[in-house]
Amino acid sequence: MQLLSDATGARRGGGVSARDCAGAVLDAVPGVMWFVRCHMRRHRTRGLSVPQFRTLVLLRRYPGASLSLVAEHLGSSMPTASRLVTGLVGKGLLTRKGRADDRRQVTLALTARGESVLDTAQAATRDAVAEKLEQLGEPERKTLAAAMDVLGRVFAKPAAPDS
């Protein structure tokens, strides 16, 4: 693993600009996310489609999200998202509740079973990532963990978009 300071020339006496950091993040994140997505999908429950799985992940991040947010997230129409959600409700992975202030609006939430499905996939993926990170030395793992803490703070979960 090449440290950001090595990659950007900071060791030559120059500082590291926000643009340099952004470039390093944009270079690293797609490969990491590809690996994570592949492993999360590999460990999803049988009979669960990738769009259904992605919906569960979205609703873990944004409990109470609307059907229109699901449709936007999946790049699908509202009727398609509604059918998908109906299937997840039927499998006992989601709940769908009408809003008191507008019966046309529904809020969606994971059930305990839906949480369990995601927990299982996430645990298996964490193990796969840990296996990859075993090749790093302790100093590199410490640096990486500190960098992830920083990124987590900078890119803290935003509020769910209104939809």
Tens digits of residue pLDDT in 88-143: 999 999 999 887 777 677 889 999 999 999 898 888 889 999 999 999 999 999 99
- Both tokens assigned to 64: 């109470």
Evaluate whether 110 touches 94 at the Cβ level (below 8 Å). Answer: yes
| Mean model confidence pLDDT for the chain | 85
- Which pLDDT belongs to residue 15? 87
Start-to-end CA distance of the chain, whole Å, equals 41
Distance CA 79, CA 85 (A): 10
Q: Which CATH architecture has domain 4-151?
A: Orthogonal Bundle (1.10)
pTM over 0.75: no
Share of the chain above pLDDT 90, in %: 55
Please give the structure tokens belonging to residue 29. 């994140």
Burial of 131 (0-12, 13-18, 19+ CB in 10 A): exposed
CB 18 within 8 A of CB 4: no
DSSP 66: B
